Structure 1
Amino acid sequence: MVTGAEGFIGSTLVDLLVEAGAEVRAFVHYKPYAEKGNLARYLAPGSPVEMIAGDVRDAGRVMDAVAGCDTVFHLAALIGIPYSYDSPGAYVQTNVVGTENIAEACRRHGVRRLVHTSTSEVYGTARTAPISEEHPLQPQSPYSASKIGADMMALSHWHAFELPVTVVRPFNTYGPRQSARAVIPTILAQLHSGARQIKLGSLTPTRDFTYVTDTAAGFLALADCDRALGQVVNLGSGREIAIGALAEALIAASGRSAEVVVDRTRLRPSGSEVERLLSDNSRARQWASWEPRVSLKEGLERTSEWVADHLHLFRAERYQV
């Protein structure tokens, strides 16, 4: 089962599972992406994907959905840092309570493996780089605080109940189907809409970007990795790029011309901005033989083409939170 299956990484993971011959139960809090959503191709009779609508905050619905599943990939979450400043309680309910509901259902039904999704945001600004899984956790936003709580809830079920859990901690993932709340589609939507100025927040923070199919492949590899039981494992490229330099790379990938400017309404509070994220992906490489295959240049070009072809899905003039 994949929770958050209709989302960006979730739907890509569903695709890879189907390609591998798996029968997939997709637990979706359905919000149509365009007219039919990211899983529309699986709606036909005889599909290898069973759709179940629900909400991870609903313990009863989650308990029913997990029944009969061998492996559960838990990706459902309330994401987006700006909105977490306005509604932190909602993040606790979905991310922490929702994870408890998933973990408890997995325990009750005796699943073979729960793969829980974390985020590199839990590390905060790097104290040392590259960032290993031993790096201190720093809740610099309500979103990251809720994800720290969710991670600890999942791991507590390993320690207290011997639930076979692996916490996958992706660094910034990008690619087709990502919403404009993320920086790469934000830039590309503005570029392909013909904007002469690209409006962003701070240009100096660095991020470690991994193409979405590589991230999803990491989930699959770690689901079968015994070394990862009860452990946290980073998924990242091991390379960093500043947001300003990223914008210039996207301008080149799109074939457009534009000036990058700082929009003060998009700046995070000073104590909340994560200035540097760079992954140490040694565990994933050594334990699961995983490594990213898509270069940043190739990935940005693919993503630029996808955004250009799906521009009707974006409102480039509006700051998405």
Structure 2
Amino acid sequence: MKKILVTGADGFIGSHLTEALVLAGYDVKAFTFYNSFNSWGWLDRTDKKILKEIEIFPGDIRDYNGVKTAMTGCDAVLHLAALIAIPFSYHSPATYVDTNITGTLNIVQAAKDLGIDKVVHTSTSEVYGSALFVPITEEHPLQGQSPYSASKIGADQIALSFYRSFETPVAVIRPFNTYGPRQSARAVIPTIITQLLNGKTKIKLGALTPTRDFNYVSDTVNGFIKILKSDSSVGEVINVGSGFEISIGDTAKLIAKCMNLDIEIESDEQRLRPKKSEVDRLLADRSKAERLTGWVPQFGNLDGFEKGLRNTIDWLSSSQNLAMYKSHIYNL
């Protein structure tokens, strides 16, 4: 499988994945979100030597004709295009259904029609909701605790239904909380770091007690590539997580330690999820990923998490990068 289409290639994980595929020798087509600014998102910041190897296809994942046209001639599709911000899903849930569910339907329908060799569909650990048991295996019940997570549950089931109904070769990767350079400010780690880099010592956060299984972006990217290459992944849902959990409050303290700062945390009501919507605990069982694909995280455990945070802090400390973040406002 040499010709790969990456949807959502202009985003955080997608841009890192696109670059990694080029460096691994794949012929890559990047599906970016069409806009009047001719912006390719984070790919605009890609090294020119890598960028010249990428075929850019601007389009809209909600449009079947554009999706099928982009997929024509490709061997495999890594489908990352999605709306992902949980707070915005409370505000505009219909957009999540259109993008996440209809967009995924377009991908698997075109894969069936074109005879694509492999589709890797991107899920999220949010589909599990608050952990009923830990570590969370792929058999954990699915709980739609936000319109976002409900839309991803729907998208996952659409993708898997095409495998079961038509033998479309679909694998589902279920990343836990990915972080690292280029992550948007609607996520907690860049929210903390950018506030501190802009001179704040009293930082605004939502709930502090929920725990997360943070996965450094290069580990997530490697998970995609391992699943792409694994024949055993077809028809399977596969967790990609570090197997290490830490609370949001302790994450903030660890970031402050890495930056040699003393901080005070202020609760911001608008950053709190509705009570029944908050996911209180996430901790991945990653044994299936290792068994089927050989994937293991390089940034697991507390030491690995601190290393990943330092990489992220270093990247955000660049004035050019920091200028892209509006830390004084709350991003939905």
Matched residue, 1:27: 31
Q: Distance in 1 between matches of 2:236 and 2:43?
A: 30
Q: Is residue 42–residue 49 contact of structure 1 (8 Å, CA) maintained in 2?
A: no
Return the match for 2:314 from 278, 292, 305.
Answer: 305
Q: Distance in 1 between matches of 2:92 and 2:210?
A: 25
Matched residue, 2:243: 238
Matched residue, 1:11: 15
Q: Distance in 1 between matches of 2:287 and 2:192?
A: 31
1:98 aligned onto 2:109:
no
What is the DSSP-based 3-state SS (H/G/I as helix, E as strand, rest coil) of the residue aligned with 1:168? strand
Matched residue, 1:223: 228
Residue-by-residue CA offset, 1:124-155 (whole Å, 9 max, x unaligned) = 00000000000000000000000000000000
Partner amino acid, structure 2, of 1:198: I
1:319 aligned onto 2:330:
yes
Matched residue, 1:212: 217
Using the TM superposition, give the Cα deviation of residue 227 of structure 1 relative to its aligned residue in structure 2, in angstroms. 1.6
Partner amino acid, structure 2, of 1:74: H
1:188 aligned onto 2:197:
no
Residue-by-residue CA offset, 1:97-150 (whole Å, 9 max, x unaligned) = 000001111111111100000000000000000000000000000000000000
Matched residue, 1:179: 184
Matched residue, 2:207: 202
Change (3 A) 1:43 1:61: farther
Partner amino acid, structure 2, of 1:22: Y
Using the TM superposition, give the Cα deviation of residue 262 of structure 1 relative to its aligned residue in structure 2, in angstroms. 1.3
Alignment map for 1:41-60 (pairs within 5 Å): 41=46, 47-60=52-65
Partner amino acid, structure 2, of 1:255: N
What is the DSSP-based 3-state SS (H/G/I as helix, E as strand, rest coil) of the residue aligned with 2:256? helix
Q: Is residue 167–residue 231 contact of structure 1 (8 Å, CA) maintained in 2?
A: yes
Q: Is residue 6–residue 30 contact of structure 1 (8 Å, CA) maintained in 2?
A: no
Using the TM superposition, give the Cα deviation of residue 37 of structure 1 relative to its aligned residue in structure 2, in angstroms. 3.6
Q: Distance in 1 between matches of 2:152 and 2:51?
A: 36
Residue-by-residue CA offset, 1:209-243 (whole Å, 9 max, x unaligned) = 01001100000001111221101000000010000
Partner amino acid, structure 2, of 1:117: T
Matched residue, 2:148: 143
Using the TM superposition, give the Cα deviation of residue 264 of structure 1 relative to its aligned residue in structure 2, in angstroms. 1.3
1:2 aligned onto 2:6:
yes
Using the TM superposition, give the Cα deviation of residue 260 of structure 1 relative to its aligned residue in structure 2, in angstroms. 1.4
Matched residue, 1:62: 67
Q: Is residue 131–residue 279 contact of structure 1 (8 Å, CA) maintained in 2?
A: yes
Partner amino acid, structure 2, of 1:38: W
Using the TM superposition, give the Cα deviation of residue 256 of structure 1 relative to its aligned residue in structure 2, in angstroms. 2.6
Change (3 A) 1:137 1:53: same
Q: Distance in 1 between matches of 2:265 and 2:36?
A: 31
Sequence identity (%): 52
Give the RMSD, CA atoms, in angstroms. 1.7
Partner amino acid, structure 2, of 1:26: A
Runs of 4+ with deviation above 4 angstroms:
30-33, 42-46
Gaps of 5+ in 1: none
Matched residue, 1:134: 139
Q: Distance in 2 between matches of 1:240 and 1:32?
A: 41
Q: Distance in 2 between matches of 1:105 and 1:97?
A: 12
Change (3 A) 1:272 1:297: same
Q: Distance in 1 between matches of 2:194 and 2:17?
A: 24
Using the TM superposition, give the Cα deviation of residue 42 of structure 1 relative to its aligned residue in structure 2, in angstroms. 6.4
Q: Distance in 2 between matches of 1:244 and 1:260?
A: 8
Partner amino acid, structure 2, of 1:18: V
1:258 aligned onto 2:267:
no
Q: Is residue 29–residue 55 contact of structure 2 (8 Å, CA) maintained in 1?
A: yes
Q: Distance in 2 between matches of 1:229 and 1:112?
A: 10
Using the TM superposition, give the Cα deviation of residue 255 of structure 1 relative to its aligned residue in structure 2, in angstroms. 2.4
Q: Distance in 2 between matches of 1:195 and 1:274?
A: 27
User: How many residue pairs are counted as aligned between the two chains?
Assistant: 320
Q: Is residue 42–residue 48 contact of structure 1 (8 Å, CA) maintained in 2?
A: no
Matched residue, 1:283: 288
Instruction: Report the TM-score, using the length of structure 1 for normalisation.
Output: 0.97
Partner amino acid, structure 2, of 1:28: T
